[in-house]
Structure 1
Amino acid sequence: MTRGNQRELARAKNAKKEATKKGANAKSGSELAKQGLSDAEKMRQKQMDADKKRAEKEAEALKAKVEAKIKK
């Protein structure tokens, strides 16, 4: 039990830190829901853009492959 006091001090320090953390969320439930929906929409749009870009690159690669075969 040589560390008993050290543990108690660490627990008290951590409890104090956790108490200050709890007040971080100031948004209501409806605000959080709206933010979640807008974030989800942004991510969907970002994914669609990435899919479009990937499809364009694949089409370019296919076109270059076909042109390379034609040149042979």
Structure 2
Amino acid sequence: MTRGNQREKDRERAAARNPKGKNKDDGLTPEQRRERDGKALQEKAAKKAEKAAGGGDAGAKSTKK
């Protein structure tokens, strides 16, 4: 192995940058988490639909020459 302990050092640096890690212990049951996430997705979809309806031709290119 030519990398030595570089990989382990990089993992330590990454763990230091993100102290909470991959621990998903937020005190919620899977059912509560599903409800929370579903509500967030509905709000996101509503916001996107509102932007699409209100924006109209916001992404259209200009035809001026």
- TM-score, normalized by length of structure 1? 0.44
**Larger relative helix fraction:** 1
- TM-score, normalized by length of structure 2? 0.48
Q: Which has the higher contact order (CA 8 A, sep 6+)?
A: 2
